[in-house]
Amino acid sequence: MNKRIKIWVLLGFLIILLFFIKQLFAQKFDSVESLQYYMKGFGIAAPLILIVFQAFQVVVPILPGYLGCAAGTVAFGSMTGFWCNYIGISLGSVIAYYLARKYGMNIVLAMFPEKQYEKWSRRVEKNKSYERFLFVATLLPLFPDDFLCYFSGLIKMNSKKFIWIIILGKPWCILAYSVAFGLI
């Protein structure tokens, strides 16, 4: 895909996302039911919208992932919310990894402070098994998972290992969020 097409696709995606966020905040959500009713207005596309949102929030880490997990659980229930969140976050993680592989340090420094990169570089140098560390990090809540996905691409971690770590490690924290937010 040439550069102009990529820019137009990204711009279109951002416009759609901003429209959705504006619509979301323009509504008055005074109950779980009002949010569910709003999401049902998107019909069969509603779960897809959550998946795309979750993928986007990993690639462009502005909001913490648990907010999307909360919204997915409230809008769709614990299990459907879990699957939408898991698929979206996993896709976003893989996209972030490949973006870092392709664009290198420039994209990472555009998304994260240089101090964060330096801090994790020092930690990885000391750690004998980055793969084990990454797997444990994906299991734990409130870890800088988005950054670690980019970082894994920068250090040229084996892509198959990375994808398997995401597939096997990501669901547990997301499931915990889904169950916890489902109880609220």
75-121 per-position pLDDT tens digit: 888 899 999 999 999 999 999 999 999 988 888 888 788 888 888 87
User: 166: closest CA among 131, 119, 118?
Assistant: 131
Position 1 confidence tier, pLDDT thresholds 50, 70, 90: very low
Q: Is the dihedral of CA 31, 37, 40, 41 positive or negative?
A: negative
pLDDT tens, position by position, 6-39: 566 566 666 766 766 666 667 655 666 777 777 7
Mean pLDDT, rounded, for 68-81: 86
**Are the CB atoms for 83 and 48 separated by under 8 Å?**
no
Percentage, residues of the chain above pLDDT 90: 23
Confidence (pLDDT) at 178:
84
* pTM score, whole prediction: 0.81
User: What is d(CA 77, CA 74) in angstroms, rounded to the nearest whole number?
Assistant: 6
For the chain, the structural domain boundaries read 31-183
**Are the CB atoms for 148 and 133 separated by under 8 Å?**
no
Higher pLDDT, 29 or 63: 63
Confidence (pLDDT) at 143:
79
User: What is d(CA 43, CA 45) in angstroms, rounded to the nearest whole number?
Assistant: 5
User: What is d(CA 90, CA 113) in angstroms, rounded to the nearest whole number?
Assistant: 23
Helix H or strand E encompassing 77: none
Q: What angle do helix axes 46-59 and 3-26 make, rounded to 10 degrees?
A: 120
Mean pLDDT, rounded, for 117-146: 83
Confidence (pLDDT) at 141:
81
**Are the CB atoms for 177 and 141 separated by under 8 Å?**
yes
Confidence (pLDDT) at 82:
92
